[in-house]
Amino acid sequence: ETGVTQSPTHLIKTRGQQVTLRCSSQSGHNTVSWYQQALGQGPQFIFQYYREEENGRGNFPPRFSGLQFPNYSSELNVNALELDDSALYLCVSASGGKETQYFGPGTRLLVL
């Protein structure tokens, strides 16, 4: 148990729809990152939030957006879903300056 929770655990959407994924980070962790893991691939960095500000972004289009709240929980929003967005979405929390990062259990998204 890492203390990081994500909801929902599974989700099925159709192409063109919008989705919001949620993450509650471990207590005291002010940094949250989101990763996308397609089947058979390693996780790919989407973006990171530090104290409610975006702190780096990977090679993902603008239809992937995020938020971090004052309690450091976070949301990942994906608009205009495409079939290739089907993946496991992982939330990772960390305490700024500390080395260890904690993965949540993930949300598995299927786009039909």
Partner 1 sequence: QKEVEQNSGPLSVPEGAIASLNCTYSDRGSQSFFWYRQYSGKSPELIMSIYSNGDKEDGRFTAQLNKASQYVSLLIRDSQPSDSATYLCAPRVKRGNEKLTFGTGTRLTIIP
Which of 30, 58, 65, 73 is the binder for partner 1 (CB under 8 A)?
Answer: 58
- Tell me how far apart the alpha carbons of residues 64 and 47 are, in angstroms, rounded to a whole number: 9
Query: Is residue 100 near partner 1 by the rule CB under 8 A?
Result: yes
Residue (78 or 91) nearer to partner 1, CB: 91
What are the beta bridge partners of residue 60? none
Contact 56, 34 (CB under 8 A): no
CB 90 within 8 A of CB 35: yes
Site residues for partner 1 per CB under 8 A: 31, 33, 35, 40-45, 48, 50, 55-56, 58, 88, 90, 92, 94, 99-101, 103-106
